[in-house]
Amino acid sequence: MKSETHMPIYQIIALDMANRIYDGEFREGEKIYGRSTLAGEYNVSPETIRKSIKILEDLNIVKSEKGSGVIISSRKNALTFIRRFSDMKSLKELEQEARALIEERARLDKKLTETITKILHYTGALRNTNPLSPVEAEITENCRYIGKTVGEVKFWENTGGTIVAIKRKGKLILSPGPHATFESGDILLIIGDENVLNRVNLFLEQT
């Protein structure tokens, strides 16, 4: 969440006065109102105005002489102050944006971790409760059982797996049965326990 940065009121007044000087409302060498008048104009205490004037004095934008009020010293320095404030504000906004992005990334990382954990949990649960999810095994050109039937090689007896379908040249042969023959490039869809694929692969790779 992006945080708000609040400037002290005396800094806001100092910046406003610098803008008024740069805009020509107050001219160099001109004497402006006393602190009490400025306090009334900005609806703040004289102490707040004193702090504002002190900022402008430190930057040589105005000078304050006892009994003579506040005198404008430099329009150029007023512009420098305005620009410096703008740069500081931009930097602060970038810092806030970076902080917000870090917080958002942490939130997304947490959500991603939770989602992955759920996926792993559900996958494990399905693996244990649903033995009917088929696995795939390919009949390669070097397989010794090419041209032989499912029943002839005693597929179920040797692997514990049941062939529920065969993918062959873009077609799907469902429930092929014991008389179906193996062809090079066939993809067997097999159901069985969690180790059935290992046993099938070992069986098909026998030489």
* Angstrom distance (rounded) from CA 162 to CA 25: 92
Q: Is 50 exceeded by the pLDDT of residue 4?
A: no
Where does the pLDDT of residue 143 fall: very low under 50, low under 70, confident under 90, or very high at 90 and above?
A: very high
Q: For the chain, which residues make up each domain, given as ranges?
A: 1-130, 135-204
* Angstrom distance (rounded) from CA 40 to CA 50: 13
CATH 1.10.10.10 fits 1-130, yes or no: yes
* CA nearest neighbour of 184 among 129, 130, 139: 139
Tokens 């504000």 identify what position? 89
Q: Report the amino acid identity of residue 72.
A: I
Rounded percentage of the chain residues whose pLDDT exceeds 90: 30
The whole-model pTM stands at 0.41
Per-residue pLDDT tens digits for 82-124: 888 776 555 566 566 667 767 787 788 788 777 767 765 665 5
User: In this predicted model, which residue has the larger pLDDT, 121 or 145?
Assistant: 145
Q: Is 60 exceeded by the pLDDT of residue 17?
A: yes
**Cβ within 8 Å of residue 77, ≥6 positions away:** 59, 60, 61
Give mean pLDDT, residues 153-178.
91
Tokens 């620009």 identify what position? 83
Sign, CA dihedral 58-61-64-70, equals: negative
Whole-number average pLDDT of the chain: 82
Cα 64 off chain centre by? 52
Per-residue pLDDT tens digits for 36-95: 788 888 888 889 888 988 999 999 999 887 766 788 999 899 888 888 877 655 556 656
Q: What share of the chain is helix, strand, coil (3-state, %, to 5)?
A: 50, 15, 35
Query: Is residue 41 classed exposed, middle or buried when 0-12, 13-18 and 19+ CB atoms within 10 A define those classes?
Result: exposed
CATH 3.30.70.1450 fits 135-204, yes or no: yes
* pLDDT at residue number 30: 87
Per-range mean pLDDT, top range of 6-10, 57-61, 126-130:
57-61
